[in-house]
Amino acid sequence: MYIFFSVMIIVCAVLLILIVLVQNSKGGGLASGFGQGNQVMGVKKTADFLEKATWTLAAGLLLFCLLASFSIPVKKVEAPQNMEQPTQNTPTGPVAPQK
């Protein structure tokens, strides 16, 4: 499952980079090429789509990062079998100094 989330993180990150690079900081970007008002996706609709895509991909990236952190495989370490067990004569508390 961790590998799936890792791949989805990479896909989201690449798509987010591409969407951000398409946008112009002044609101032009990809939308500036659609100067005619009778287009199906005009300037305003293209800018809205790019903004929604940016927020959606950013939220997806955050979600996949959280899910990946919870699905990291943990290797269990077993205790050695030959550990010495405390005997009944072993003091368990602090030892008083002998005079």
The total number of residues shown for the chain amounts to 99
What is the residue-level pLDDT of the chain in tens, covering all 99 positions? 889 999 999 999 999 999 988 887 665 555 555 555 445 555 567 778 888 999 999 999 999 999 999 998 888 887 667 666 656 665 566 767 776
Structural domain includes residue 99: no
- Does residue 97 lie within any of the structural domains? no
Domain, as residue range, for 55: 2-34+43-70
- Answer whether 71's CB lies under 8 Å from 2's CB: yes
Query: Among candidates 65, 41, 64, 50, which has minimal Cα distance to 16?
Result: 50
Overall number of domains in the chain: 1
- SS3 call for 28: coil
Which pLDDT score, from 0 to 100, does residue 87 have?
62
Q: What is the pLDDT of residue 63?
A: 96
Q: What is the pTM of this model?
A: 0.58
SS3 content of the chain, % helix, strand, coil (to 5): 55, 0, 45
pLDDT of residue 75: 83
